[in-house]
């Protein structure tokens, strides 16, 4: 599983001009499921997203998690994070999971985040979406459940 994590002041996702998810301060997370991912990857990703300390404490140090600050997570599926652009000019998606597995694990990550007490909003899996956000910092991290980066 791969994620792009952005610390945001606000974010929203629309499908066909209708807002389907919106958050104030928290994390905008683009999530992609790989073809070899499993429940273990979903558990890793949910735990890391909820507990990653990337919000400032009183001293201005990144020492608080989204859970600590009472923030929200907007989770958006994005299979293109598994796109391979190393050869040619068109990305290949051989490493991305098939839609059925990807949706199962995406929904599992969402469920596990919510179980940890973080308010969660989502995009709609498999839909064409428009996402807008106000980045805070900007603070952006890449996360891979196989620890490739």
Provide the annotated active-site residues: 80
Strand pairing category for 2-15 and 26-32: antiparallel
What's the rounded Cα separation, in Å, for the pair 53 and 46? 14
What's the rounded Cα separation, in Å, for the pair 73 and 76? 10
- SS3 call for 46: helix
Please provide the distance, in angstroms rounded to a whole number, between the alpha carbons at the two ends of the chain: 11
């Amino acid at each position: 599983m791969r994620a792009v994590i952005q610390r945001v002041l606000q974010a929203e996702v629309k499908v066909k001009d209708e807002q389907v998810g919106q958050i104030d301060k928290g994390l905008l997370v683009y999530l992609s499921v790989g073809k070899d991912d499993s429940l273990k990857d979903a558990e890793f990703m949910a735990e890391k997203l909820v507990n990653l300390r990337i919000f400032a404490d009183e001293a201005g140090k990144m020492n608080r998690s989204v859970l600590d600050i009472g923030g929200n997570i907007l989770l958006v599926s994005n299979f293109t994070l598994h796109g391979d652009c190393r050869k040619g000019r068109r990305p290949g998606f051989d490493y991305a999971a098939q839609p059925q597995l990807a949706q199962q694990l995406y929904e599992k990550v969402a469920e596990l985040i919510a179980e940890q007490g973080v308010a969660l909003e989502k995009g709609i899996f498999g839909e064409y979406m428009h996402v807008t956000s106000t980045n805070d910092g900007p603070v952006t991290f890449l996360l891979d459940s196989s620890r490739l980066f």
